[in-house]
């Protein structure tokens, strides 16, 4: 695969940001993460959503017009017009137990030395664990699969249990149609 406008998505904890950064570095192109546009920078983080129109406008200002970039994260229900400008999508899947283990480890590092609201942490874990539940009404595997079926872009699905370099190589070897 050549340098392009690539969207890397999957459940929280599946490695989307890690793979996107790896690919962006390999291609020497910008990396953007959907959360940086979805959320207003606050302390504590993730407390205030940015209005949808502002998210899209900021993305268009910062990276969308460029020739190539890698965007990580889910934009389900709000970022379709940016995804329409992507050349392809990489969808990461991961065993739910391993994904939750990774989330716990990641959040431990993020919270180190910071005061964290335990209720917010539990709320996040409940939300993240709902991803693999077909009854869950939030961002879920089923919602992602339905969204991907309608995205109109080539999709490569990978098991993100593999190391980042192997995932990168799988993407680089892919020839989207």
pLDDT at 141: 94
Closest by CA to 19, choosing from 171, 145, 173, is: 171
Domains and CATH numbers, the chain: 5-173 (3.40.50.300)
The CA-to-CA distance between both ends of the chain, in Å, stands at 11
pLDDT digits (tens, 9 = 90+) for 100-158: 999 989 877 776 766 667 787 788 888 899 999 988 888 899 999 999 999 899 999 99
Report pLDDT digits (tens) over 51-106.
Answer: 999 999 999 999 999 999 999 999 998 999 999 999 999 999 999 999 999 998 98
97 burial via Cβ count (<10 Å: 0-12, 13-18, 19+): exposed
- Mark 141-172 as b/e (b = at least 16 C-beta within 10 Å): bebbeebbeebebeebebebebeeeebbebbe
């Amino acid at each position: 695969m050549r340098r392009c406008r690539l969207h890397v998505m999957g459940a929280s904890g599946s490695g989307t940001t890690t793979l996107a950064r790896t690919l962006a570095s390999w291609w020497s192109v910008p990396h953007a993460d959907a959360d940086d546009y979805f959320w207003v920078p606050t302390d504590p983080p993730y407390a205030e959503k940015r209005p949808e129109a502002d998210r899209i406008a900021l993305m268009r200002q910062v990276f969308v017009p460029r020739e190539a970039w890698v965007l990580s994260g889910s934009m389900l229900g709000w970022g379709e017009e940016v995804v329409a400008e992507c050349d392809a999508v990489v969808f990461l899947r991961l065993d739910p137990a391993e994904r939750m283990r990774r989330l716990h480890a990641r959040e431990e590092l993020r919270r180190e030395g910071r005061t964290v609201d335990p209720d917010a942490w539990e709320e996040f874990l409940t939300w993240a664990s709902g991803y693999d539940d077909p009854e869950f009404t939030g961002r879920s595997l089923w919602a992602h699969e339905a969204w991907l079926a309608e995205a109109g872009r080539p999709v490569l699905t990978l098991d993100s249990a593999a190391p980042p370099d192997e995932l990168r190589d799988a993407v680089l070897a892919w020839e989207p149609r």
